[in-house]
Structure 1
């Protein structure tokens, strides 16, 4: 059984953003599977690093759209991105220091991304569509 199945509910209706969100969900499921299989520290580290890299690139895409489209809530949205990035970097540091961080990372990814997609990201959809994106 999949740890976190993708659902239509998670779609914001903007193709590029939905593809990126789906990748993040898939990678979160990969982390879960690796933890369940007893993956070694290096494999878990690679998954965490790829999640961080991709997430940062995803945030850049969103934030570029905010800037180009004059999204009025961009500062608050970017602050959430920054807070999440900081938390994930802390988990990566824990992992690199030999502390178990995989389970905590799973909980953070699922909880934060679910809230962020369903509430914060869906809030910009109307603004994006009004400016021809979507």
Structure 2
């Protein structure tokens, strides 16, 4: 299973969200390490459950942040979070085969990192920058 490495391009410019994204990658890597070492299914699932719990907490924090920003695509973004949670639920409930569990988990993490953080979450950072520009006081000509 591929290891996930934090890159500066993933940064949203919010210390808490960025730290949580880094922690999520660490948790995903822990699952990858267990899968690559041939660890037992119960131990891998235990780590996936820990990741799942952390993802739910992170999404709650990210949604609160979007609301604070007045992020216009909040509802759409929240639905994406709900979809990721639902897919994680499905993976955990219906993957009795270790290879299939690892494959589905890897696919989900790839989508989450490459699509969700780089595309969807980066839009939050762009909205924050736009808000900062629009909130700047207009300089008076003198």
How far is 1:60 from its partner?
A: 0.3
Deviation track 1:95-125 (CA, whole Å, cap 9, x = no partner) reads 4xx2331221022112222211111111011
Which runs of 5 or more residues in structure 1 are unaligned?
Answer: none
The 2-side partners of 1:60 and 1:40 are apart by 31
2:97 corresponds to 1:99: yes
Q: Which residue number in structure 2 is paired with residue 113 of structure 1? A: 113
Q: Which residue number in structure 1 is paired with residue 74 of structure 2? A: 74
Q: How many residues align?
A: 129
The 2-side partners of 1:91 and 1:14 are apart by 30
Does the Cα contact within 8 Å between 1:10 and 1:114 map onto a contact in 2?
no
Q: Which residue number in structure 2 is paired with residue 64 of structure 1? A: 64
Identify the structure with bigger relative contact order (alpha carbons < 8 Å, sequence gap 6+). 1
The TM-score with structure 2 as length reference comes to 0.82
Q: Which residue number in structure 2 is paired with residue 42 of structure 1? A: 42
How far is 1:6 from its partner?
A: 1.6
The TM-score with structure 1 as length reference comes to 0.87
Q: Which residue number in structure 1 is paired with residue 135 of structure 2? A: none
TM superposition outliers: structure 1 runs of 4+ over 6 Å: none
Which runs of 5 or more residues in structure 2 are unaligned?
Answer: 133-142
